[in-house]
Structure 1
Amino acid sequence: MRQTFLIILFTTLNLFAFSQQKSLIQGQVLNLKGEALEGVTVALVEQKNTTMTDAKGNFQLHTDLKGRLTLKALLIGYDLISRKIEVPDPNQTSIKLMLTPSDETLQTVEITGRKEKNYTNKVSFGGTKTAAEIKDVPQSIQYVTKELMQDQGAVRMTDVVKNVSGVNQYTFYDDVSIRGFRNQGGVGSSNSNQLFNGLRTFNGFWRQNLLNYLERVEVIKGPASALFGNANPGGTINKVTKKPLDTNFRAINLQAGSYNTWRGTADITGPVNKKKTLLYRINLGYENADSFRDLLFDKNIVVAPSLSYIPSDRTRINFDLVYNKSDSRLDRGQSIFGSTDLYSTPISLNVADKNDFLKEKTYLFTTSISHKLTDHITFNTSFLRTGYRQDLFEHRSTAFAVDAKGKQIEELAFRRASQRHNEQYSNSFTAYLSSDFKTGPLQHNLVTGYDYNDSTIPVGSYQNDAAGYRLKDGKIATKYVVKDSAKYEMYEYKGKMIPKPNVPSFDLSKNTHSMLDVSGYVYAPNNTDVVVPSYSQQHSIYVQDQISIDRFKVLLGLRYDTYLTDIGYKTNAVNRVTQTALLPRVGLTYEVSRDINAYATYTTGYNPQTASSQNSLSGGPFDPLKSNLLEAGLKTDWFNGRLSATASVYRIEQRNSLYNALDADNPDLMIQIGKDISKGVEMDIVGYISPNLNIVATYAYINAVLKGAQGGADSLYNNQQKPNTPKHMGSLWAKYQFSIPGLKGLGLGAGAYYVGKRTFGFQGQQNILPSKGPAYMLLNAAVYYKINKVQLQMNMNNLTNKTHWVGGYDSSRLYPGAPRNWLTSLTYTF
């Protein structure tokens, strides 16, 4: 409330001339080290008069008031300071103000909540496992705050990451590509590439949860292996939950929009006791929404409580829980006629049926402790438990039906049905010491620690598939063989006889859905990674030193990992595979000026192969994936730190990628050849030019190609741009809040999102989809009106109703984007 009050004062400056009788108030604003702070807003509350400090931290104010007055000073990243001063007449008053870094900077781990109320976030805990200013970390770290999510009406991960350069949607699922490398980490993956409050976890993958419990989303570009072990070479996504505040805040939000969308969320926080040693926060969410896609819907319940205990200034303890229960259907994408005409079927087309369902339950429980052993040594430890349960029944298409002569019928999607029950659990633990000390002129911030992670798919998970063609003897054939046509059951379709499938095919030309009789399906077990019992664990030790001398900051890191994977877990033939990795990290930051930092970094990455690829049927075991990153860039601040801009160039190389060997006798056989190389340029701008104007802008050029794919330089795929990776992409978003009389409370938002052409397909199969995903630009807008404690908001997306596709695998799995849609929100804060 104090900051809101002060901002109102700042936007109503008194520009009238002062009389000769006015008193002069002058002074200087410093930090705790005695260094001058530029760009601090200083206000005389009683007169509603403000000014800003110069490069030496000096300020001047004139007033015709006398007696005991209130002086306030505000700078992002520092606590608001208020000071009572005596102003005699006509004497001159001089004062020094000392600003203290805010809790976000002081705390060693992120336990109490972020208090900034705009698109900027100066501090990251994910880049170095310490509270470091982002501009001082020699690696590109981009973020999206909850304020930006709210203004854009973004409630899913793929909506959020549109505000980060080099990150694009890959499918409908919780599935994106970063710098040309797909960032997965879903169910069945022992190599998770996602973080939750800085700890390793996995995601349900097949759908995206609501994100109303998040404070921000961070994208740590490049391999983060030196801190987190096996990681995507393109980058790692860190989801940071909302933490309790030491002031009372309550907000209720109701939403209604296109496709019968209804949502309700609540965010309640504050202190439990008068001493503010116990803080709480709870976020609730409910959703019931249909889709522009046939048969699709989402019903979700989110419960996310958080508790912080701060018994002293030396100890902080936090507990977080996020529970999500969902009821939906799995969307496998749009099917088209043939293999090239994306417009041959409507983007709403879905080959699922009314019997289908997807039910999921997920929980993530986190506890964190930070304790200062001395003024210079802090012990930190965190634990995360993730649990997931899925029950699924689906119809999906994998190819076209064929006639008696084996010729494809391109308007008839050949389907299969799957029953699946899956459970997966993971534990993530970290403990480390952070210490700061000096050796001569060098200032050190040393981190030494141990990490443990495990992932388990217990016995009891299963998947049964109904596929293939029906034979006259009651058995099922996996494929249709023309010369043996007499053995197959036949049925009539458009005047000709065709082999009868185990699961009814879907007529794309009719596009009708029904409640099928599934009792006659013949199933066979499918032992995929998702359901085969498995167990893997990781033990890691690491050391990292951040060294400062004058304008230079050097980051040195070294990590040793041991990966243990039980092949054939819970069977008599269990075999433990052990892999180890030594991962260095080197970075340098140079302070060119107070507002410009130049940086360069070299990091390495490591990923063990999945369990399924390690068996003899696949040709395994295989060597692990190894990668490295070279990156350099500039991190700059503008308008007295209100606006931040990052520009970077990079080169990433990943070796030992696995591809399908295309062996007709063994379709599971893999070969390990080639390498993936991604080179690019990125730019990100975020912040506010004035208190009324917030802005986010991004641009990325990505040249991500495959080398030596499929066995040789003459391969069809060699030197091809990686799938679903545009060479050019960018975004722009701006919000302006009016403060002039008559328009006060009114705000306008507008934005654009551009994605260039992409190659669809390339799943290591011969039936690559030749068609390119067309480039597209989406235009979005928003209107806000706030009066007292109530805000009404309307977001309008894809204003031009642009038909577009966000990604695709093949002609049976294309992922169209939503047409024109709208969302209204009503928020009440108290």
Structure 2
Amino acid sequence: MKNKISLFTALLFSIVIFSQQSSISGVVKNQLNQPIEFANIAIEGKSQGAVTDKDGNFTVTNLKSGSYIVRASYVGYYDSKLGVSIGGNQNMTLNFELKEQSVLLQAVEVTGRKAKTYDNAISYAATKIGTSIKNTPQTISYVTKEVMDDQQAYTINDVVKNISGVNQFSFYDDFTIRGFRSQQETINGLRVIGLFGPQALTANLERVEVIKGPSSILFGNGSPGGTMNRVTKKPLDEDRKALTFTTGSFNTLRSTLDFTGKLNESKSLLYRLNMAYENSNSFRDLQQRKSFMVAPSISFLPTDKTRINFDLVITNFDNKLDRGQPIFGASAGTDLNSTPINFAIGAANDFHLTESVYSTLSLSHEFTDNFSFNASYMRFGYEEDLFEHRTSNRFAVDADGNQIPTLMGMRISARNQKFVTDNVSSFFKWETKTGAIEHKILVGFDYYQNTRPVGGGNIFTSSGAIYRTVDGGLATYDPDNRANFLFGDDGNPLPNIPHFDLENPTYNLAFPSDYILGRNERGATKEYSSGIYIQDQIKWNKLNVLVGLRQEYFKNIVNFEEADEEIVDQQKLLPRLGVVYEATKSINVYGTYTESFQPVGANTLLDLETEGLEPFEPFEGQMFEAGIKSTFFKDRLSANFAVYKIDNKNIIINDPDTGFAVQRGAEEATGFEVDINGRIGSSLSITANYAYNDASITESDVPDEIGLQKENAPFHSGGFFANYAFKNSPLNGVNVNFGTNFVSERNTFERDLQLPSYLVSMAGISYKINKVKLALTVNNIFNETHWVGGYSYVRLFPGAPRNYLLSIGYTF
């Protein structure tokens, strides 16, 4: 009996103790009042803890009465600690606001973004420091890696349809932004040379963002339409590993790898490794894509005041340069479907081999809470080896000089060259107050140089002189002097390179020895620029003002380090002014003024000296923009509306009568844009965009040009993509998605050739069970024939027909 009483007493005591166990609940947010998902909650000295959900909520249970120190932490933020005392059977509430380190310390991202959403709150490139996009007085459109993953987007060209006002110009790494052809590209906010030909891979990208309008105050010389910035993935302090294998139409075979985590227990050394491989054909004849990329990244965080990051990205491309689809003849009304969209010209043994290697070293150090230093250095190398048969941009002629619309004139282009770019960006940041006014003051220096060393060369045939003469030379055919030319068995003038028959194409092996070729050395060149700038981000109550001034110095050298070296110097003072007003907690109103600057190339200026003409002025542009930035659904969905006017002057073109370069009037783009990104509820993620853009020639010495719409600049473009994740249902683990994008009619370089409008849709489904994910995406589900861009009758760029991608991924 005594034992039974003791057992009952112990059981009763245990029940009382258990019933008196308590919990701590709360929410973790950042300084922008946005919830932080995956933040760690730890009870110091105890094993209990928790991780926040998508709304930043957490609960730590099974706590006994007593006093505790609760710590909230998340990579890129300072830890926050709060003390609490709890009694028996009590639930306490603790709310944390974490102060972001990355905003204070680094010009470029050093540690990775943990969020898994279509929304992105911070941009580093737009103001040189981490700044809320909502508080930046300029449109910043973006596509996160989550959108790329759900769409199975493998290249930048697959991504741009999600960004308002950005359209493909061709098959290459070549776009229009707000109607202006892009001439500036950056990686992590540092300038690089453009990759002509290969479409950049997305496997190592955290996001693609476009800073709309002139950004010369940030990067020196730049396009008036905007700057595309690629942000690479950075290490995380938690282990994540993923492997994906993809197959699909056009014999597609792809694989990607993404590993990240900590290298030591203190999490002061983090790593990330991205790899990608593709071996695929194309819907285009002769074309294939072979690419390989390896991209390791290391972050070293020795203290909470110092962060260092190193990135290395090596990419190899082995393919052919697709010069586009030719159609019959070169006259108004020619049917774009006179040749199939898969039709390409060239020889079976053409090739285009390229390699790009770039490494970045970034340092962020905080001397005090209000004073810090940031520096980044990037070296970018690009090598190219090209051999191709391409159109001479004109059709064959018969003995009387009449055009033969089914025979394409051909030429050879072969080149071997290398470019090396060095880029340094550094600045000091000082935070201070003047009464109630807060300041973030930047004083910095940028340096950029791009060198083409000696050793490059090219082999070529003229685009005009394509017929053989009796004296063993080449010339443009003249029927009035036909005795000077050789003729073939068909009675027509004999071409240097056989014409390409559009009706009966053949793809033979061909070699340079088959033709009469010209050869020359590609002389060494060097261009470099330096900029000194000062910027102040001013905050007073609900008003934010951004003021900046940059002095840019640009120098271009041809025949670098040779006896006949020529140097061209140009410079420009560039201002920037922007205002943001916090109208409500979720709505900001803004306005901005900024300028663009594009120096004239040394080769062009030296040609003017030869022609006895006056030097040209640099391209200069300016933009006025105003808009509204807002968030919805507890800051999980962001929206941006912008209206703008961009003026660009001193454009250089070739005079069709003399062939000399001339500088003409001005161009203008006016329009408005809408971008929406984020999540509605817990299951529906969306990205949507629309742009109306009127980009036209406003001043010209050629009266017929005035009022013409610029090339590949549609009046209307846009689209949306939505992904729905089934949760807490029999379909748990299933995701379905659907998207569409449209582009209105566009002009080409041929005034009487216009590309038709199109609307293309895609759909997909995926299923995730445990650590395995299966995904199917069908692109162009209605098999719409369309053209994404075009130059002329002989250079059209069709979009892909219906195709599918099937992938299997494993995360661990």
* TM-score calculated relative to the size of structure 1: 0.88
- Residues 272-421 of structure 1 correspond to what in structure 2 (within 5 A)? 272-339=263-330, 340-397=334-391, 398-421=393-416
State the SS of the aligned residue for 2:678. strand
Report the Cα offset of residue 73 of structure 1: 9.3
Q: Which residue pairs with 2:784 in the alignment?
A: 802
Determine whether 1:748 maps to 2:736: yes
Q: Which residue pairs with 1:173 in the alignment?
A: 172
Pick from 769, 776, 780: which aligns with 2:762?
Answer: 780
1:469–1:499 contact (8 Å) kept in structure 2:
no
Pick from 421, 430, 451: which aligns with 1:426?
Answer: 421
1:43–1:73 contact (8 Å) kept in structure 2:
yes
- Residues 579-728 of structure 1 correspond to what in structure 2 (within 5 A)? 579-615=570-606, 616=608, 617=610, 619=613, 621-663=615-657, 666-667=658-659, 669-709=660-700, 711-712=701-702, 714-715=703-704, 717-728=705-716
Report the Cα offset of residue 708 of structure 1: 2.3
1:556–1:585 contact (8 Å) kept in structure 2:
yes
2:325–2:342 contact (8 Å) kept in structure 1:
yes
Determine whether 1:220 maps to 2:220: no
Report the Cα offset of residue 104 of structure 1: 4.8
Report the Cα offset of residue 106 of structure 1: 5.2
Report the Cα offset of residue 269 of structure 1: 1.2
1:40–1:73 contact (8 Å) kept in structure 2:
no
Query: In structure 1, what is the Cα distance between the partners aligned to 2:52 and 2:273?
Result: 37
Report the Cα offset of residue 542 of structure 1: 0.2
Query: In structure 2, what is the Cα distance between the partners aligned to 1:302 and 1:506?
Result: 35
State the SS of the aligned residue for 2:202. coil
Q: Which residue pairs with 1:13 in the alignment?
A: none
Q: Which residue pairs with 1:739 in the alignment?
A: 727
Change over 3 Å in CA distance of 1:465–1:556 after alignment to 2: same
State the SS of the aligned residue for 1:498. coil
Report the Cα offset of residue 363 of structure 1: 0.5
Report the Cα offset of residue 570 of structure 1: 3.8
Change over 3 Å in CA distance of 1:329–1:23 after alignment to 2: same
Query: In structure 1, what is the Cα distance between the partners aligned to 2:33 and 2:600?
Result: 52
2:396–2:404 contact (8 Å) kept in structure 1:
yes
Query: In structure 2, what is the Cα distance between the partners aligned to 1:726 and 1:303?
Result: 37
State the SS of the aligned residue for 2:94. strand
2:254–2:277 contact (8 Å) kept in structure 1:
yes
Q: Which residue pairs with 1:113 in the alignment?
A: 112
State the SS of the aligned residue for 1:627. strand
Determine whether 1:475 maps to 2:472: yes
Query: Match of 1:647, as an amino acid?
Result: F
Pick from 735, 746, 759: which aligns with 1:758?
Answer: 746
Change over 3 Å in CA distance of 1:72–1:439 after alignment to 2: closer
State the SS of the aligned residue for 1:825. strand
Change over 3 Å in CA distance of 1:249–1:25 after alignment to 2: closer
Query: In structure 2, what is the Cα distance between the partners aligned to 1:293 and 1:526?
Result: 32
Deviations along 1:104-125, whole A, 9 cap, x unmatched?
Answer: 5454231011111111111110
- Residues 432-443 of structure 1 correspond to what in structure 2 (within 5 A)? 432-443=427-438
Query: Match of 2:319, as an amino acid?
Result: S
Q: Which residue pairs with 2:452 in the alignment?
A: 457
Determine whether 1:537 maps to 2:528: yes
Change over 3 Å in CA distance of 1:395–1:30 after alignment to 2: closer
Change over 3 Å in CA distance of 1:49–1:97 after alignment to 2: closer
Report the Cα offset of residue 738 of structure 1: 0.5
Query: In structure 2, what is the Cα distance between the partners aligned to 1:550 and 1:216?
Result: 32
Determine whether 1:792 maps to 2:774: yes
Report the Cα offset of residue 144 of structure 1: 0.9
Deviations along 1:1-28, whole A, 9 cap, x unmatched?
Answer: xxxxxxxxxxxxxxxxxxxx99999987
Report the Cα offset of residue 303 of structure 1: 1.0
1:103–1:112 contact (8 Å) kept in structure 2:
no
State the SS of the aligned residue for 1:147. helix
- Residues 450-529 of structure 1 correspond to what in structure 2 (within 5 A)? 450-467=445-462, 468-493=465-490, 497-516=491-510, 518-525=512-519
1:29–1:40 contact (8 Å) kept in structure 2:
no
2:468–2:475 contact (8 Å) kept in structure 1:
no
Q: Which residue pairs with 2:138 in the alignment?
A: 139
State the SS of the aligned residue for 2:583. strand
Change over 3 Å in CA distance of 1:68–1:722 after alignment to 2: farther
- Residues 150-161 of structure 1 correspond to what in structure 2 (within 5 A)? 150-161=149-160
Gapped runs of 5+ residues in structure 2?
Answer: 1-18, 43-47
State the SS of the aligned residue for 1:502. coil
Report the Cα offset of residue 470 of structure 1: 4.2
1:111–1:317 contact (8 Å) kept in structure 2:
yes
Change over 3 Å in CA distance of 1:706–1:37 after alignment to 2: closer
Report the Cα offset of residue 474 of structure 1: 4.7
Determine whether 1:448 maps to 2:443: yes
Report the Cα offset of residue 324 of structure 1: 0.8
Aligned residues: 777
* TM-score calculated relative to the size of structure 2: 0.90
State the SS of the aligned residue for 2:554. strand
Query: In structure 2, what is the Cα distance between the partners aligned to 1:388 and 1:42?
Result: 40
Q: Which stretch of structure 1 is more off in the superposition, 458-467 or 405-414?
A: 458-467
1:28–1:36 contact (8 Å) kept in structure 2:
no
State the SS of the aligned residue for 2:680. strand
1:78–1:99 contact (8 Å) kept in structure 2:
no
Deviations along 1:501-557, whole A, 9 cap, x unmatched?
Answer: 111110000122111354221111368xxx442111101100000000000000000
State the SS of the aligned residue for 1:691. coil
Query: Match of 1:751, as an amino acid?
Result: G
Change over 3 Å in CA distance of 1:44–1:114 after alignment to 2: closer
State the SS of the aligned residue for 1:135. helix
2:742–2:759 contact (8 Å) kept in structure 1:
yes
Change over 3 Å in CA distance of 1:42–1:570 after alignment to 2: closer
State the SS of the aligned residue for 2:488. strand
1:40–1:75 contact (8 Å) kept in structure 2:
no
Query: In structure 2, what is the Cα distance between the partners aligned to 1:212 and 1:429?
Result: 25
State the SS of the aligned residue for 1:227. helix
Report the Cα offset of residue 565 of structure 1: 1.2
2:86–2:92 contact (8 Å) kept in structure 1:
no
Gapped runs of 5+ residues in structure 1?
Answer: 1-20, 185-192, 762-767
Query: In structure 2, what is the Cα distance between the partners aligned to 1:198 and 1:274?
Result: 31
Q: Which residue pairs with 1:190 in the alignment?
A: none
Query: Match of 2:738, as an amino acid?
Result: A
Q: Which residue pairs with 1:566 in the alignment?
A: 557
Report the Cα offset of residue 316 of structure 1: 0.7
Deviations along 1:170-225, whole A, 9 cap, x unmatched?
Answer: 000000000001013xxxxxxxx111111111122112132211111110011111
Report the Cα offset of residue 38 of structure 1: 8.4
Deviations along 1:698-723, whole A, 9 cap, x unmatched?
Answer: 000000001223x14x22x2111100
Q: Which residue pairs with 1:189 in the alignment?
A: none
State the SS of the aligned residue for 1:796. strand
Query: Match of 2:151, as an amino acid?
Result: Q
Query: Match of 1:651, as an amino acid?
Result: K
